[in-house]
Amino acid sequence: MIKSLFARHSDSFPRQSRAVETVTATRSDSKKGSSEPQTMSRPRLVSSAEESLSTSLKPQNTTVPRHVAIIMDGNGRWARQRGLPRREGHRRGVESVRATLKAAGELGVEYLTLFSFSSENWHRSPDEISDLMGLLRLYLRSEISELNRRGVRLRVIGNRAKLPTDIVELIEKGEQETKDNHHGNLVLALSYGAREEILAAARNLATRIAAGEISAEQASESDFAAGLYTHDIPDPDLVIRTSGEQRLSNFLLFQSAYSELVFIDCLWPDFGEAEFTQAIQEFTLRDRRFGR
């Protein structure tokens, strides 16, 4: 279930028995210390992401977001709830990547950025890091042909210096083999941290100023952004986070200044086409004013 704002718009979807399912949620009354069941309607995928999206009523904007970024959270909790090792949660998470990429393509999302491995993730146990790197190797070896079949270009942002050499080689190979694809972009954020990225961009701009390329007085926001990993990628219109957590966790902090944020309760391995479509539906209900 999408938190807060999405719940507020649950009645905006048509009440068709084949497209809407009724669920019962429990709402706690903090004043009375009691709970009462609350019935509400939520959309269920009918046959495709595009058909489901077309059922939303009275959107504030009818534009599908050009760039969607996702913080894929909850693999470990998903596995723990089922008594499985964490690596099984990560493995199932890869299946959610495939389903989400498919849905994004159906809806016409041009850029899909996935927060795959953060700079902070290097502090996890050696065994878990090894499992994650193993899955990354497998994905890069097995999915490039599928990306080519779909016409999707692979891009990777983050500090590659920290990644194993063979993985960097696989990344470069995948980027080279898909560079001429024009039916979408899959951007993987690997060994990525926004603060580190911002610091690197600041150093880059300072170097240019010191070299006399530009004066400090003339330096602009675009000059600064030129030093970001995403200098040739549009800012995300929508940032989604799974697992119920409501924070950005050092992800695209500069780029997401005016992004719409949607927080979803389900854990990443349970995320798929229906959940992605619901997030897009929520996006169409937002009134984007960009401070105006």
Q: Which residues are catalytic?
A: 73, 121
Residue matched to tokens 């190797």: 137
Q: How far apart are CA 234 and CA 60, in angstroms?
A: 22
Residue 63 gets which letter from DSSP?
P
69's enclosing H/E stretch is: strand 67-71
Is residue 218 packed enough to be buried (19+ CB in 10 Å), middle (13-18) or exposed (0-12)?
exposed
CA distances (Å), 270 to each of 93, 94, 104, 180, 265, in order? 8, 11, 17, 32, 10
d(CA 153, CA 147): 7
Strand-pair category, 238-241 with 67-71: parallel
Give yes or no for a contact between 117 and 190, defined as CB atoms under 8 angstroms apart.
Answer: yes
What do you get for the CA distance between the two ends of the chain, in Å?
30
Structure tokens at 108: 């016409």
Residues 18, 47: contact at Cβ < 8 Å? no
Q: Residue for token digits 């999206």?
A: 53
Joined together, the tokens standing for residue 188 give 């993987």
Of 245, 253, 249, 264, the residue nearest 121 (C-alpha)? 249
